Structure formats: C-alpha cells, structure tokens
Chain A
Amino acid sequence: QQQVKQSPQSLIVQKGGISIINCAYENTAFDYFPWYQQFPGKGPALLIAIRPDVSEKKEGRFTISFNKSAKQFSLHIMDSQPGDSATYFCAARPGTASKLTFGTGTRLQVTL
C-alpha cells in the first residue's frame, strides 16, 4: 500500500522559474514530513522538513507548504537553478516510529 503519493513524476523548469512538487498522504498518524534531494550515484540528502503544527516553512529558496486537512504537502523551489536538477523525494513518518515512508520521486530538470 502506497501511503505517500508524489507528483509529478518528472518536471522541466526554466532557470529562474518556480518548481512545485506535490505529495499526498493517507496515514493521519504521520507527524514529520521531510523532503530529500538525490543526485545520481548519491544517497538522498535532507533538504527541509516540516511538522503539522505549522502551515509553511521556508529555508532559502526552498519552501514547504502543508495542508493538514487535505493531507497534502508540497515543495516549492524558487528561482530554480541548473544545479537544482536532481530527483526529489517527499517522505513521512508517524511520531511513534522512526522509519520513513517515501514517495516515488520527482525528477527535476532545470534548463538554461
């Protein structure tokens, strides 16, 4: 059972544009929602994370928007750069456990 659904599967954005990746979850026990960035041949690296007591969190060009009632959260990358080209994964974890459930990933390509 896929508990975290991620879209789109791939995304092409022009340099300077906004990249938006969406995730939806089913398990209401989830209370920690991180986003990871993965480059080819590397492990995922934590970008930014949010807990459900806030609706938005911003770190530099990266913003998470969280909608608890809709059970959705999204990653916005402002002023996208070619160096942002990577695969992005959303994930979620219930408070009682340590394991993360990941989405299927979004391959982002930022063109010049």
Chain B
Amino acid sequence: GAGVSQTPSNKVTEKGKYVELRCDPISGHTALYWYRQSLGQGPEFLIYFQGTGAADDSGLPNDRFFAVRPEGSVSTLKIQRTERGDSAVYLCASSLNPSYGYTFGSGTRLTVV
C-alpha cells in the first residue's frame, strides 16, 4: 500500500481482556517498529522487527505485551490482561533501511475501561 495501515483505528476494551492490534507496513519495507504514545507525550519505543525476527524488544513494558511478524510483512501487537494504564495510541512504523527515517501509520487508539 501507499502508507502504513493500522487497524482498528480505535479499540475500547474492558480491563483484563486480550487485544490484538494490526500493522500493515509499506510494501517491501523490511524494518517494522511499534511505539506507544500517551497523551501529551512523545512516542516511546516498544519493539523493532527486521524481517520476521524481533531485533530489539527492549521497550516492551512487561510480559503481557507480545508482538509477531510471521511472514516479514504484517505485524500484530498482542496485549494480555489489559490494564487501564495500557490506554494510549499504539503507533506502527516501517522503513526500507533502518539507518534512516521511517514512516508512521495513524495509530490505534486503545482505551481500557
């Protein structure tokens, strides 16, 4: 596609539920990133994929968060036992070359009630 596509654009879930957030990167981009942006803050790094493997998952806050990219294209961020503190905009970005800038999607706004 022309840009990075994220679905859903909005997700409301109850505390304790499981959610999956999807990212469809720009075609051919081998690098894929997940960031989380809380209200009034800059994006915070979660995880970086190069191809199918997670090259850096140092930003995942705890073991409730997990991400996959099984075929080196679409990625899914999975959050188990959601907490109200997980409420934020989850941003996905992709890049052809990890040494340079990357393109963000519009994000998924997650609200845990």
Chain A residues packing against B (C-beta within 8 Å): 6, 32, 34, 36, 41-46, 49, 89, 91, 97-105
Which of these binds chain A: B14-22, B40-48, B67-75, B80-88? B40-48
- Determine whether the beta carbon of A98 is less than 8 Å from that of B56: yes
Q: Contacts A34-B101, A43-B104, A43-B106: A89 and B42 contacting too (C-beta < 8 A)?
A: yes
Q: A98-B50, A102-B43 are in contact. List 16 more A-B contacts (CB 8 A).
A: A6-B42, A43-B4, A43-B105, A43-B106, A44-B43, A44-B91, A45-B104, A46-B102, A49-B100, A98-B33, A98-B48, A99-B48, A99-B56, A99-B59, A100-B43, A101-B45
Determine the interface band of chain B, counting residues with CB < 8 A from chain A.
20 to 34
Q: Cα distance A6–B41 when bound, in Å? A: 11
A41 with B106: in contact, given A99-B33, A99-B56, A99-B59 (CB under 8 Å)? yes
Contact yes or no, A89 B43, CB < 8 A: yes
23 contacts between A and B (CB under 8 A): A6-B42, A32-B99, A34-B101, A42-B107, A43-B93, A43-B107, A44-B43, A45-B103, A46-B101, A46-B102, A46-B103, A49-B100, A98-B55, A98-B98, A98-B99, A99-B48, A99-B59, A102-B42, A102-B44, A104-B42, A105-B40, A105-B41, A105-B42
List residues of chain A with CB within 8 A of the CB of B103: 45-46
**How far, in Å, is B101 (CB) from chain A's closest CB?**
4
Residue of A nearest to B95 (CB): A98
Chain B nearest Cβ from A35, distance in angstroms: 10
- Closest chain-B Cβ to A79's Cβ sits at a distance in Å of 24
Binding site for A on B (CB under 8 A): 4, 31, 33, 40-45, 48, 50, 55-56, 58-59, 91, 93, 98-107
Whole-angstrom distance from the CB of B10 to the nearest CB of chain A?
A: 10
Report the Cα distance A6→B40, complex, angstroms.
13
